Amino acid sequence: MPYKQVLPPLTIKGKHIPVPIVQGGMGIGVSLSPLASAVAVEGGLGIVSSACLDLLTSRRLQKELTTYQAVREELSIAKDKGGVVGINIMVAIARHYEDSVRAAIDAGVDVIISGGGLPLALPTIKDPGATALVPIVSSARALELICRKWERHGYRPDAAVLEGPLAGGHLGFKFEEISLEENKLENLLPPVKETAAKYGNFPVIVAGGIFTREDILSFLHLGADGVQMGTRFLVTEESSASMRYKQAVLDASKEDIIVSRKPGSPCGLPFRILRKAPMFLSAQQGLRKPRCDKGYVQLKDKSGSYLCRATSSSRDYFCICNGLLSSAGYNMESEEPLYTVGTNGYRVDRTLTVKDLMNELTGSSAHP
């Protein structure tokens, strides 16, 4: 029986994580200190999402904080009860990226996980000291590129997260690549493990579509050192997603979970969502006026100016910042929410505490 097998610990840059489960950094506003702390206390790696932390933390404290101040504040709370705590910082949030990295290192965070683009410059921003630097990749080719780039600065990844096409939110694949056999997580893992071995044999954590304890054991058997799970933690009591968001996931069918193409994310990356999310429906029907008043996901144009594609056409792009902020309860009165979830979100049938979920995943619930 699988419950008889004890999950092995995970070690990243000397940090002992008793349970090889990394809680996904779900932004905006889902993975905050309550969730990260609860996971860390239960022996996993708890993750705070840095996305829009300045707005979220400023509102909670009723005073204006910079990104740097907000990251330090949120991590301080997340680390207060012990355990191993990390932060997810998206490359795509370019204007806040470096401040988030500096603040996290200064706060003594255990792990920085960075994706939403290739974190090629991550080791150059600030000496990480004891903080582990962990890129998110979707292929061995991407990991090879990162390793070569980082080596020029005298650094190698302390681990890597390999995210397959079944994950929620932004995906590191083209639309036509999502369903290819070669891009199944179990097929992506061996070459990524080979690349990791080539550059120091650092741990590889797999993500995307992992739902049960049996899934965890299966990927550990295939050679993964740990797993990252977002959707299972989304509908927990400690998650900071709004009650409407959690209920939408509980009510979702398999057909309700889609990869949006048009309208899509202003980042240009495929984005897995609930198709019944109010903002997606409004954008799809042309009822929403083009708008971007937060400015987090801005890309440089040919002239070097920053812009957000959500300002050009609401039929082509939804406003991801406002939509996700609303789904975390930030601006629900003035904005429609946008709900993202992993491909197995329809299998979530109840709200659990983090403790109960971790007991289920580790097999502890089988032993009174």
pLDDT digits (tens, 9 = 90+) for 161-209: 999 999 999 999 999 999 999 999 999 999 999 999 999 999 999 999 9
**In a 3-state reduction of DSSP, which class is residue 327?**
helix
Q: Are residues 296 and 164 in the same domain?
A: no
Q: What is the pLDDT of residue 268?
A: 80
Q: Are residues 341 and 353 in the same domain?
A: no
CA atoms within a 13 Å half-sphere pointing along the CA-CB vector of 89: 30
Give mean pLDDT, residues 336-355.
Answer: 97
CATH code of the domain covering residue 225: 3.20.20.70
Q: Are residues 182 and 282 in the same domain?
A: no
Q: Are residues 157 and 180 in the same domain?
A: yes
Q: Are residues 60 and 149 in the same domain?
A: yes
Taking residue 134's Cβ as centre, other Cβ atoms within 10 Å add up to 26
Q: Are residues 302 and 222 in the same domain?
A: no
Residue-wise pLDDT for 228-276, tens only, equals: 999 999 999 999 999 999 999 999 999 999 999 888 888 788 999 999 9
Q: Evaluate whether 49 touches 78 at the Cβ level (below 8 Å).
A: no
- State percent of the chain over pLDDT 70: 94
Q: What is the pLDDT of residue 1?
A: 35
Range of 135's domain? Answer: 2-240+348-366
Q: Are residues 222 and 275 in the same domain?
A: no
Closest CA to 280 of 317, 249, 332: 317
CA–CA–CA angle 315, 89, 298 (5° rounding): 35
Domains identified in the chain, total number: 2
Q: Are residues 148 and 276 in the same domain?
A: no
Q: Are residues 163 and 191 in the same domain?
A: yes
Q: Are residues 225 and 281 in the same domain?
A: no
Closest CA to 84 of 33, 112, 44: 44
Closest CA to 240 of 62, 59, 31, 88: 31
Q: What is the pLDDT of residue 368?
A: 35
Residue-wise pLDDT for 46-62, tens only, equals: 999 999 999 999 999 99
Q: Are residues 231 and 113 in the same domain?
A: yes
Q: Are residues 253 and 113 in the same domain?
A: no
Indicate if the pLDDT at residue 367 is higher than 50: no
